[in-house]
Amino acid sequence: MQLTVWTYEGPPHVGAMRIATAMQGVHYVLHAPQGDTYADLLFTMIERRAKRPPVTYTTFQARDLGKDTAELFQTAARDAFNRFQPQAMLVGASCTAELIQDDPAGLVEAMGLPCPVVALELPSYQRKENWGAAETFYHLVRTMCAGATAAPRTDTARPRVNLLGPTALGFRHRDDVIEITRLLDTLGIAVNVTAPLGASPADLARLGEADFNICLYPEIADTTCRWLERQFGQKTVRTVPIGHGATRDFIAEVAGLAGVDPAAVLDTSNLPWWSRSVDSTYLTGKRVFIFGDATHAIAAARVARDELGFEVVGLGCYNREFARDLRDAARLYGVEPLITDDYLAVEDAIQALQPELVLGTQMERHIAKRLRIPCAVISAPVHVQDFPARYSPQMGFEGANVLFDTWVHPLVMGLEEHLLTMFRDDFEFSDGAGASHLGHGTAAHTPARPVLEPVADARVAAGGWSPEAEKELLKIPFFVRGKARRNTERYATELGIAAITLETLYDAKAHYAR
Amino acid sequence: MTPALPAGLPGCVSAPVLRERGQREVFCGLTGIIWLHRKVQDAFFLVVGSRTCAHLLQSAAGVMVFAEPRFGTAIIEERDLAGMADCNEELDRVVDRLLARRPDIKLLFLVGSCPSEVIKLDLSRAASRLSVKHAGATRILNYSGSGIETTFTEGEDACLAALVPELRADHDTAPGLMIVGALPDVVEDQFARLFAELGIANVHSFPARRADAMPAVGPNTRFLLAQPFLGETARALEDRGATRLDALFPFGAEGTTNWLHAAAKAFGIDEMHFRRVIAPGRERAKRAIEHRRATLSGKRVTFLPDSQLEVPLARFLSNELGMVPVEVGTPYLHRRHLAQELALLPAGTLISEGQDVDLQLDRVRAARPDLTVCGLGLANPLEAEGLTTKWAIELVFSPIHGFDQAGDLAELFTRPLRRRDVLRV
């Protein structure tokens, strides 16, 4: 058993729901107890979908347990087919139904429904949401492409590709698809099928007609892309176009496979100039901690170091399926990879590293808030505010612009940083007021609040700090104070110094100044 | 099942109830943890379940998950399913670790889920075993919040029912009053002041805010249900000799008056004194409600099943605001506790128990009520079809009981209609 308060991923059947909800003409019959319908509100509330997810739950209750539940399942499947007339159906069990061992596959096969039915095996006690989504997509594609061969192309004028991976509840999937489709169009490349988002089962049957595949989100589409490689001999573009450099690499890879000239689309991002402008100088070497799904975390690390000039001090992901990719990336930045789905481990890492910026999921946003560290969201899971009304891709050149704005915004702005240091005794710039845009600020006219950390009365405080050293520490701007405290304490421990004095503080400062 | 009722009773008392079984779009009882853990401040709720349970709590609790919550999930993993002995050891390990980290926890609930019920993990045995181990520091109880047994607010019922056998026996000869059902602190305090003014001295809330302050119970205990979903808890209290005071539920001016009056009668409070004490609150409630009448009067409302609050709320909306209930759906209809409420619903209201969500939505689409009270999985899709909705969960999380919340309660139903009118997009 694992003690959990917060999970990065839902159970695998939620992954299957993400596929069904993304598509048209698919209906999912889920053998699940009353209550599991909660997952609907992820789609209707977080993503604000205007339609119910195409999912029928059997919602069995205690009194149904026994042989009743199998019949309940068949009735639900039959009713769902009659009501929704799907082109294809998914059937499967949630965690509880997995335990009662009704066999959805066998039950539905016996019914002989007049549409393709994919029976999903999603082991709820081993696997999670992303895996469930990948597996569901893969089996749907296999079923719909059964018997198809790579069709000889009649129209050879425009190269055609499949965009694979975007789903419902995906972080910025909606806008990434628009951005990449537009980019491909400029290159003269047509999108054959985008799937699963917006695709129907009939569309999946046409996947073989493309020249090659673009794996936009490996977490969802990698398994399918590998199968399509084997089945139709289609090559896969694996560069994920998040960031300016990655987008250029992506274009080169795509243009190479399609045999088109990449020149038309290059250099349309503001990021390089924004980043080179002197206003951004203060971003140099800002220590950043990155956590999320592997794809977004790895992409973010490259942008952070190469395009914004940050120092990557921590890199991790919660999805073990992509741990190897993340480890490889961590080596590039010389940091210890953090592969965990325990948010407490992530919190410990952030606390220990004292970064100046955290890039992560909704969870890291809350951790950072608690630790008063600026933060931006780069990956699912996310709350409703990260399904914005405005156009806001992560991919492509416009995505790079979005990344620049999103990541720089939470940082204390350069000038503000100087003001905070120079005028820290002024009440407007006191610790209590904080950075104007971080939301910590109270009314500007309240007198300076008492300092946040109490100065101990004893000659030497509990942590070994003398009162005057403690006082001096408070003169250091709050956004680097944590680091200063930690460095000083580590320095003191290493040298076996029991009481931290003013001298120790500045000795440590000199020691760590590199 | 239900005893035959004589025809010709007022309102909907003898109305036929549409009983449906099919897909139910409801929360399971685990969701009750979200408000119960705020109420009992030294209790921790440990769900023994799957990743789905953890994901449910996280989705339902939203940002609350980050405020150092006093709930969590012991997620059953593949290897736990291999052998039961292992499962118990694992549970002990998780509980030990949890209590070591949170020594302030005085009451720990092991909350059963669908997976733990289906594999028949004996949480009551585990609770007694662990209670012995942690004796003196933490009491450990268990109840089931599984979806196969409980719907949404029934989780609170199961939790309180599990607490009842633990309550001290009350040997006091003077009668005492127990208010049953978790209420927001502010509401609880308002009621406490009213009862004090009425002259009912010995008043306690169940659950109390702290584990060691739970009220005593005995043959002299009179109890008022503050919530309509407490069937098991009421029965457990009655088993310990307590007497339920039958009343309307305290929603709106009329409901609250009737509810307080039931206690006043039982405690022999002078009628004139009663009227004098409640007059100011009752007047305030009526004034506050009146502001919303123009918007709501004559509007047709349908409730989809969610919390069992549907019948009393429909009664409030129809009696005090002039709304017309079309269909009042409830996950479970406790006829005895709701007898007075049903009598006050307009004859001809369709009362439905249970759900087949697709059929029920067909009825909603056919009737096109002005307002549909429903869960968050249905609200946006119905809005997109042009039906105005009020999401029901807010009615469980907001203070809505008593005189001083009557206006707020009416406002909750007014807001969606007002918004529909002000938007020009």
Per residue in A254-275, pLDDT tens? 999 999 999 878 777 899 999 9
The tens digit of pLDDT for each residue in A274-300 reads 999 998 998 999 999 999 999 999 999
3-class SS at A261? Answer: coil
Contact residues, chain A, for B81 at CB < 8 Å: 99, 125
Residues A61, B148: C-beta atoms closer than 8 Å: yes
Contact residues, chain B, for A38 at CB < 8 Å: 27-28, 31, 56, 59-60, 377
H or E element at residue B18:
strand B17-21
The tens digit of pLDDT for each residue in A203-228 reads 999 999 999 999 999 999 999 999 99
- Give the C-alpha separation, A341 to A345, whole Å: 8
What burial class does residue B121 get, using C-beta atoms within 10 Å of its C-beta: 0-12 exposed, 13-18 middle, 19+ buried? buried
Contact residues, chain A, for B114 at CB < 8 Å: 33, 35, 95-96
Question: Which residue in the list A261, A279, A328, A426 is annotated as catalytic?
Answer: A279
Question: Strand order of the sheet with strand A375-377?
Answer: A337-339, A311-317, A287-292, A357-360, A375-377
- Please give the model's pTM, rounded to 2 decimal places: 0.90
Tell me the ipTM for this assembly: 0.92
- Give the C-alpha separation, B82 to B72, whole Å: 23
Instruction: Give the amino acid at B155.
Output: G
Q: What integer is the mean pLDDT of A57-71?
A: 89
Q: Chain A closest CA to B152's CA: distance in Å?
A: 8
Contact B105, B44 (CB under 8 A): yes
- Give the C-alpha separation, A149 to A152, whole Å: 9
Residues B51, A34: C-beta atoms closer than 8 Å: no
The tens digit of pLDDT for each residue in B130-161 reads 999 999 999 999 999 999 999 999 999 999 99
Token code pair at residue B117: 């019920």
Token code pair at residue A422: 């120079």
Contact residues, chain B, for A370 at CB < 8 Å: 66
Give the least confident one: A265-279, B29-43, B304-318: A265-279
Residue with more model confidence, A241 or A495: A241
Residue A279 falls in the annotated catalytic set: yes
- Give the C-alpha separation, B139 to A114, whole Å: 56
The tens digit of pLDDT for each residue in B386-418 reads 999 999 999 998 999 999 999 999 999 999 999
Question: Please, which residues have CB within 8 angstroms of residue B153's CB and are 6 or more apart in sequence?
Answer: B29, B32, B227, B229, B307, B308, B309, B396
The tens digit of pLDDT for each residue in A299-324 reads 999 999 999 999 999 999 999 999 99
Q: Is the pLDDT of residue A451 over 60?
A: no
- Beta B71-75 vs A2-4: how paired, if at all? antiparallel
Kindly write down the DSSP assignment for every residue of A424-452, as one continuous string.
TTSGGGSTTT--TTSS----TTSPPPPPS
Inter-CA distances, A50 with A43, A101, B92, B376, B385, Å? 9, 34, 45, 12, 8
Residues A1, B74: C-beta atoms closer than 8 Å: yes
Torsion, Cα B240 B242 B248 B252, to 10 degrees, reads: -100
Spell out the alpha helix ranges (H) of A118-270: 129-144, 173-186, 201-205, 218-232, 244-258
Is there a cis peptide before residue A374, judged by omega within 30 degrees of 0?
Answer: no
Contact B9, B1 (CB under 8 A): no
Q: Which residue has the tokens 């052998």?
A: B83
The tens digit of pLDDT for each residue in B85-138 reads 688 899 999 999 999 988 999 999 999 999 999 999 999 999 999 999 999 999
Contact B264, B277 (CB under 8 A): no
Q: Chain B closest CA to A242's CA: distance in Å?
A: 28
Token code pair at residue B175: 């009668």
Contact A317, A323 (CB under 8 A): yes
Read off the DSSP letter of residue B10. Answer: S
Contact A109, A135 (CB under 8 A): no
Which of A61, A86, A59, A90 is closest to A75 using CA atoms? Answer: A59
The tens digit of pLDDT for each residue in B48-76 reads 999 999 999 988 887 666 667 899 999 99
Of A45, A94, A125, Cβ closest to residue B77:
A125
Torsion, Cα A24 A27 A28 A29, to 10 degrees, reads: 170
Does any CB of chain A come closer than 8 Å to the CB of residue B297?
Answer: no
Give the burial string for A218-252 (b: 16+ CB within 10 Å, else e): bbbbbbbbebbeebbebbbbebbbbbbbbbbbbbe
Q: Is the pLDDT of residue A434 over 70?
A: no
Inter-CA distances, B291 with A290, B51, B285, B296, Å? 52, 46, 10, 10
